[in-house]
Chains A and B, each alone.
Chain A
């Protein structure tokens, strides 16, 4: 077997953990994208996907719009992106400058056991540029990722980094419970999101605490 010289997801995650802005909100796609990030850097400001393949990127877009003063980093997979390629167009059109997309390009459906992708060799950075995301680059090392993380927030659109990655099909055991509703409430509490006051208490609106 030929050895795979590409960095692992863990290599990139370690570089990300060191360079992540203190106020960043992190959205991770299903499978090891979430499980491993919970190992490397669990925080209340992480939103872990359980399933819903292909929807981490559009969810992060909505979050970036709602939280324009926070940096939003989303880790999405190449297979997931291909499921909802239209999301690229919407990100390109809305172009929030506080959104950083880290696209794990490993050429397989890693979360489901490593099945081949429809097209594993696409130039996804070029595709992102064609969709209107000017700041799209292919990245091949953790050092390059760390360097790029330091150049974001130029105020002129989203950042899209395609990370050439070795597939990881062995499931990582997360160190915390990944209950979806708990994840949501922990996240919303951490960012100080307004809460809904029921009509019985004269509410019917979202109110800040």
Chain B
């Protein structure tokens, strides 16, 4: 059994997400925050090897991410699921049409585990909308370490040449 300190560090899931991005060579993260994402974005911003861009809107963030990946930089996005709903046109006519590999790390609001009632309308349509626009995704499994799930999503995006959304719970992403 590992020491409790190592256990504790290894089980801090937001740290695992950040460590995985660094290990895989991500050089840019494009973001629109929500309450769960606030602190991890500060941590990303402090990383010398990752350039964080704070966009005004998720569809704009998507286009910035496409440009960054076009320029040869492995690029992740941090957005709320509201952003997946509002970036639909850019997703199909830019990111998917041009086959940009992007890792989308998404705070999945409005599930039964989310205490904030007003996220429910977004939560219940998120997965049907992703299926509708043909955006591959996975819901992160809280019973397994998050790092390998982030790596799997990033690998899928590159090897299938498309954006891939990993839907994250509060404990996955809130620092």
- Within B48-66, the residues touching A (CB, 8 Å) are 51, 53-57, 59-66
CB pair A59 B94 closer than 8 Å: yes
* Contacts A51-B93, A52-B94 given; does A62 touch B24 at CB 8 Å: no
B155 within 8 A of A: yes
Complex interface residues of chain A between 161 and 209 (CB less than 8 A to chain B): 180-181, 183-184, 187-188, 191-194, 196, 198-199, 204-206
Q: How far is the CA of A192 from the CA of B70 in the complex (A)?
A: 11
Most chain A CB inside 10 Å of its own CB: which residue of B60, B65, B67: B67
Contact check: which of B24, B66, B158, B159 meets A59 at CB < 8 Å? B66
Contact B65–A89 (Cβ < 8 Å): no
B101 at the interface (CB under 8 A from A): yes
Taking the complex as formed, is A60 at the interface, i.e. its CB lies under 8 A from any CB of chain B?
yes
Contact B101 A61 (CB under 8 A): no
Given A62-B64, A84-B60; A191-B71 close (CB under 8 Å): yes
Interface residues on A, range: 35 or more
A87 in complex: contacting residue of B56, B75, B97, CB < 8 Å: B56
A58 in the interface, Cβ–Cβ < 8 Å? Answer: yes
Residues in chain B near residue A52, CB distance under 8 A: 63, 89-90, 93-94, 97
Chain B min CB distance to A100 (Å) = 14
CB distance from B102 to the nearest CB of A (A): 11
Give residues in A with beta carbon < 8 Å to B: 27, 47, 49-52, 54-67, 84, 86-87, 89-90, 93-94, 180-181, 183-184, 187-188, 191-194, 196, 198-199, 204-206
Residues of B within 8 A of A (CB): 24-25, 27-28, 30, 51, 53-57, 59-75, 89-90, 93-94, 97-101, 151, 155, 158-159
11 more A-B residue pairs beyond the given contacts A65-B53, A181-B98, with a C-beta to C-beta distance below 8 A = A52-B89, A58-B63, A62-B65, A66-B28, A86-B57, A87-B56, A90-B54, A90-B56, A191-B71, A191-B72, A198-B158
**Which 10 pairs from chain A and chain B are nearest by CB?**
A66-B71, A62-B67, A86-B56, A193-B72, A58-B63, A55-B63, A59-B67, A62-B68, A62-B64, A52-B94
A-B contact pairs, 12 of them (CB 8 A): A51-B94, A58-B55, A59-B66, A62-B64, A63-B67, A66-B73, A86-B55, A86-B60, A90-B53, A191-B71, A206-B72, A206-B74
